[in-house]
C-alpha cells in the first residue's frame, strides 16, 4: 500500500512484464549462459585440431568466432536492455514485492551486479580480441581462458537470479529465520538451477546448429564435422534437461501443481492440459530426432528444418516460465505476500477496518452512497489490477459475464458472495483484502463498468490524491 499502482488497462501489467522477461530469459539462457561454453569448446577443439591440421583448425575457429559475433550483438543490445527492463517493469507492476525482494536480497543483487559487469567486460575482451588471438598459440590459449571466465560469469549471474526467482515460489525456512542465506537456499533453488543449466546448454546448441547451417558454405569440407559436434552437444544435454525438468517438477509444492492446468491453458482451455502436454512431448522429440540425425548424418538435415528445434526449445522454456509465474499464485512471495502486493499478516487488519483507510494514495476512507463508485474503482485498483483489467486482457467484466451470462445485467449481490469466497474456488486468486462496504463498492463499480464501459486510467495518467494517515506508533515503540 506504500506506492501508487501503475496500471495498463488494455494489456495488463502482467503481460508487459511477461513480454520483457521472457524475451530476456530466452536470450540470456540460449545466447549467454549456454553459448559462452559452447563457443569456447568449439574454439578449443579448433585449437587442438590446428596442431595437426591447420586448415581444419582454422575453419573451426572461424565458425566459433562467427557464432560469438551473433551472440555478442544480441546479448549486448536486446539482452542487456530487456535485463534492465525487467527491473523497471516489475517495480512498476508490483513495487511492494520488489521492495521486499530488495530488502532480503540486497547483498545478492549487489554481487550479481558486479558479476554482470565482469561478464560484460569478459564478453568484450573475448569477442574483440578474437582476431589477434590467432597470432600465436600462447595468445590463443589465453583467449580460450577468457572464454572460460566468460562462461563462468554468465552462469553465475543466472545462478544468483534463480535464487531470487525460486524464493518467490517457496521461501522455505526464511519465513521464520528471515536471513539472506535461508532465503537464498530455499527448497526450489537447486532443482531450478539443475533444470535451467542443461536447458540453456541445449538451447544454445539448437541456435548454434541453425546459425552454422546457414552461415557455412555447403562446399566447406569441415561443415559436416562442426555440425556433428554441435548436434552431439545437444544430444548430450537433452537427457539432463529432461531429468532436470522432472526434478524441478517434483520440488514444486503440491498445492502449486494444482494450478498447472489453468496456468498452461487459461481457464477456458484447461481441458486442453492433456493435449498441451502431448504437444510438448512431440516438440521435445522433434529436437531429439534432429540431434540424432545431426550427430550421425548431418548432410541429411535440411537447413530450413533446423528452425524447428530452435522454436521448440524456446517454446519449452517460455512455457516453463509462464508456468512458474502462474503457479506461484495467489502469492508473489510464497506464503508471505499476495500477488496484489498485500502482506499475508496485514490481511486481518484490512478485512476488519477496511483497506482504503490504510492507503495513502487514495483520498477516500469511508464509503458513502455518493462516493461508492470512485471508492469501488480505488478498491479494484488496489485488489484486482495486478492481474485483471476492466475490458482488456483478463477483463474482470468479461470474467463475470462468462460466469453469469449476459442475458441479465450483473447481479451485485451474487458478485459479492462470489468475491468473498473466490480464493476457495479459484485458489490462484488471493482472498479479498477489504471489508464488506468495500466489497459492495467494488461490486457496484464492476456492474457500472458493464453498463458504461470506460478505460481505467492508471495513476501514471490520472495522477494521485494523497491523504494523511495517522499511524499508530505504539506497536513500533514496543
The stretch near ligand HEC (CB under 6 A) out of 157-165, 304-312, 397-405, 454-462 is: 397-405
Minimum separation from the CB atom of position 156 to ligand HEC (A): 32
Residue 416 binds ligand HEC (CB under 6 A): no
CA 407 to chain CA centroid, nearest Å: 39
Q: Contact between 309 and ligand HEC (CB under 6 A)? A: no
CB of 86 to ligand HEC, least distance (A): 19
> Per the structure block, which three cell numbers stand in for 285?
522429440
Using rule CB under 6 A, residue 199 touches ligand HEC:
no
Within residues 7-26, the interface with ligand HEC by CB under 6 A covers none
Residues in the chain: 478
For ligand HEC, give the closer residue by CB, 295 or 385: 385
Tell me: does residue 414 bind ligand HEC (CB under 6 A).
no
367 Rama sector, left if φ>0, alpha if ψ -120 to 50, beta otherwise: beta
Percent helix, strand, coil in the chain, to 5, is: 75, 0, 25
- 398 in contact with ligand HEC (CB under 6 A): no
End-to-end CA distance of the chain, in Å? 23
Question: What is the closest distance, in whole angstroms, from the C-beta atom of residue 15 to ligand HEC in the complex?
Answer: 12
Considering only residues 234 to 273 of the shown chain, the ones binding ligand HEC according to CB under 6 A are 266-268
Q: Which is nearer to ligand HEC, 58 or 416 (CB)?
A: 416
Binding status of residue 47 toward ligand HEC by CB under 6 A = no
- Using alpha carbons, select from 42, 282, 316, 87 the residue that is nearest to residue 200: 316
Provide the minimum distance between the beta carbon of 254 and ligand HEC in the complex, in angstroms, as a whole number: 19
The cell for 62 is: 572461424
Write down the least CB distance from residue 253 to ligand HEC, Å.
16
Q: At closest approach, how far in Å is the CB of 268 from ligand HEC?
A: 6
Looking at the Cβ atoms of 288 and 404, the one nearer to ligand HEC is 404
- Cβ 398 to ligand HEC, closest distance in Å? 9
| Continuous H helices in 75-94 | 80-93
Q: Residue 232 in contact with residue 295, Cβ under 8 Å? A: yes
Q: Which of 63, 396, 410, 444 binds ligand HEC (CB under 6 A)?
A: 396
Cα–Cα distance between 60 and 52 in angstroms, integer? 13
C-alpha to C-alpha distance for 444 and 342, rounded to whole angstroms:
23
Closer residue to ligand HEC in complex, CB, 310/396: 396
Q: Which residues contact 175 (CB under 8 A, 6 or more apart)?
A: 335, 336
The neighbouring-strand residues paired with 389 are: 395
Q: Which part of the chain contacts ligand HEC (CB under 6 A), choosing from 64-72, 307-315, 357-365, 384-392?
A: 384-392
Q: Which is nearer to ligand HEC, 5 or 194 (CB)?
A: 5
Residue 150 as a binder of ligand HEC (CB under 6 A): the answer is: no
Q: What is the DSSP letter of 28?
A: I
- Decide if residue 94 touches ligand HEC (CB under 6 A): no
Q: Which residue, 225 or 265, has its beta carbon nearer to ligand HEC? A: 265
Q: How far is the CB of 237 from ligand HEC (least distance, A)?
A: 33
Supply the minimum distance, in Å, between the C-beta of residue 55 and ligand HEC. Answer: 57
Q: Which residues, 6+ apart, have CB-to-CB distance to 24 below 8 Å?
A: 79, 82, 83, 85, 86
Q: Which is nearer to ligand HEC, 225 or 253 (CB)?
A: 253
Q: Restricting to residues 313-352, name those near ligand HEC by CB under 6 A.
A: 329-330, 339-340
Q: For residue 66, state whether it binds ligand HEC (rule: CB under 6 A).
A: no
Number of residues that bind ligand HEC (CB under 6 A): 23
Determine the interface stretch with ligand HEC among 70-78, 342-350, 364-372, 383-391 (rule: CB under 6 A): 383-391
CA distance 450 to 126: 59
Is the bond into 330 cis (omega within 30 degrees of 0)? Answer: yes
Largest CA distance in the chain: 88
Residue 343 main-chain phi, psi, to 5 deg: -70, 145
Please identify the residue of the shown chain whose CB is closest to the bound ligand HEC.
267
Least distance (Å) from ligand HEC to the CB of residue 338?
A: 7
Please list, in sequence order, all residues whose beta carbon lies within 8 angstroms of the beta carbon of residue 281, skipping any fewer than 6 positions away: none
Contact assessment for residue 381 and residue 388, using Cβ atoms and an 8 Å cutoff: no
CA 85/CA 91 separation, integer angstroms = 10
Q: Which residues inside 421-450 make contact with ligand HEC, applying CB under 6 A?
A: 426, 428-430, 432
Whether 205 contacts 292, CB under 8 Å: no
Q: Of 141, 157, 39, 49, which is closest to residue 109 (Cα–Cα)?
A: 157
Applying CB under 6 A, the residues found at the interface with ligand HEC are: 266-268, 329-330, 339-340, 383-384, 386-388, 394, 396, 399-400, 403, 419, 426, 428-430, 432
Amino acid at each position: 500500500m506504500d506506492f501508487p499502482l501503475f496500471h495498463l488497462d488494455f494489456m495488463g501489467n502482467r503481460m508487459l512484464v511477461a513480454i520483457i522477461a521472457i524475451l530476456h530469459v530466452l536470450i540470456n539462457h540460449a545466447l549467454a549462459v549456454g553459448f559462452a561454453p559452447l563457443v569456447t569448446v568449439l574454439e578449443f577443439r579448433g585449437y587442438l585440431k590446428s596442431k595437426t591440421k591447420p586448415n581444419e583448425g582454422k575453419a573451426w575457429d572461424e565458425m566459433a568466432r562467427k557464432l560469438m559475433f551473433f551472440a555478442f550483438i544480441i546479448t549486448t543490445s536486446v539482452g542487456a536492455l530487456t535485463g534492465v527492463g525487467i527491473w523497471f517493469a516489475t517495480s512498476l507492476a508490483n513495487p511492494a514485492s520488489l521492495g521486499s525482494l530488495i530488502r532480503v536480497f540486497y547483498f545478492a543483487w549487489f554481487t550479481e551486479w558486479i558479476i554482470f559487469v565482469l561478464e560484460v567486460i569478459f564478453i568484450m575482451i573475448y569477442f574483440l580480441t578474437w582476431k589477434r588471438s590467432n597470432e600465436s598459440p600462447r595468445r590463443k590459449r589465453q583467449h580460450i581462458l577468457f572464454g572460460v571466465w566468460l562462461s563462468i560469469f554468465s552462469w553465475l549471474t543466472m545462478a544468483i537470479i534463480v535464487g531470487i526467482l525460486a524464493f518467490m515460489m517457496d521461501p522455505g525456512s526464511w519465513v521464520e529465520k528471515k536471513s539472506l542465506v535461508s532465503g537464498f537456499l530455499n527448497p526450489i533453488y537447486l532443482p531450478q538451477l539443475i533444470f535451467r543449466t542443461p536447458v540453456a546448454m541445449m538451447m544454445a546448441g539448437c541456435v548454434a546448429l541453425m546459425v552454422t547451417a546457414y552461415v557455412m558454405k555447403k562446399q566447406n569440407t569441415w561443415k559436416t564435422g562442426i555440425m556433428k559436434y554441435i548436434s552431439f552437444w545437444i544430444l548430450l544435454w537433452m537427457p539432463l534437461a529432461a531429468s532436470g525438468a522432472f526434478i524441478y517438477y517434483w520440488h514444486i509444492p503440491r498445492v502449486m501443481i494444482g494450478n498447472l492446468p489453468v496456468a498452461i491453458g487459461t481457464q477456458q482451455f484447461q481441458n486442453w492440459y492433456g493435449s498441451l502436454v502431448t504437444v510438448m512431448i512431440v516438440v521435445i522429440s522433434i529436437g531429439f530426432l534432429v540431434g540424432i540425425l545431426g550427430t550421425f548424418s548431418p548432410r541429411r538435415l535440411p537447413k530450413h528444418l533446423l528452425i524447428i528445434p530452435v522454436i521448440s526449445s524456446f517454446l519449452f522454456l517460455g512455457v516453463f516460465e509462464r508456468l512458474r509465474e502462474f503457479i506461484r499464485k495467489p502469492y508473489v512471495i510464497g506464503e508471505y505476500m499476495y500477488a496484489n502486493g498485500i502482506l499475508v499478516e496485514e490481511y486481518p487488519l484490512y478485512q476488519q477496518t477496511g483497506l482504503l483507510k490504510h492507503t495513502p494514495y487514495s483520498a477516500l476512507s469511508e464509503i458513502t452512497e455518493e462516493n461508492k463508485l470512485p471508492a469501488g474503482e480505488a478498491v479494484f485498483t488496489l485488489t484486482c489490477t495486478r492481474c485483471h483489467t476492466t475490458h482488456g486482457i483478463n477483463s474482470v467484466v468479461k470474467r463475470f459475464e462468462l460466469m453469469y451470462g449476459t442475458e441479465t445485467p450483473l447481479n451485485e449481490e451474487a458478485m459479492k458472495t462470489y468475491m468473498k469466497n473466490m480464493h476457495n474456488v479459484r485458489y490462484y486468486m488471493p482472498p479479498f483484502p477489504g471489508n464488506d462496504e468495500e466489497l459492495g463498492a467494488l461490486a457496484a463499480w464492476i456492474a457500472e463498468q458493464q453498463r458504461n464501459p470506460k478505460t481505467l486510467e492508471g495513476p501514471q495518467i490520472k495522477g494521485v490524491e494523497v491523504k494523511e494517515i495517522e499511524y499508530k506508533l505504539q506497536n513500533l515503540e514496543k
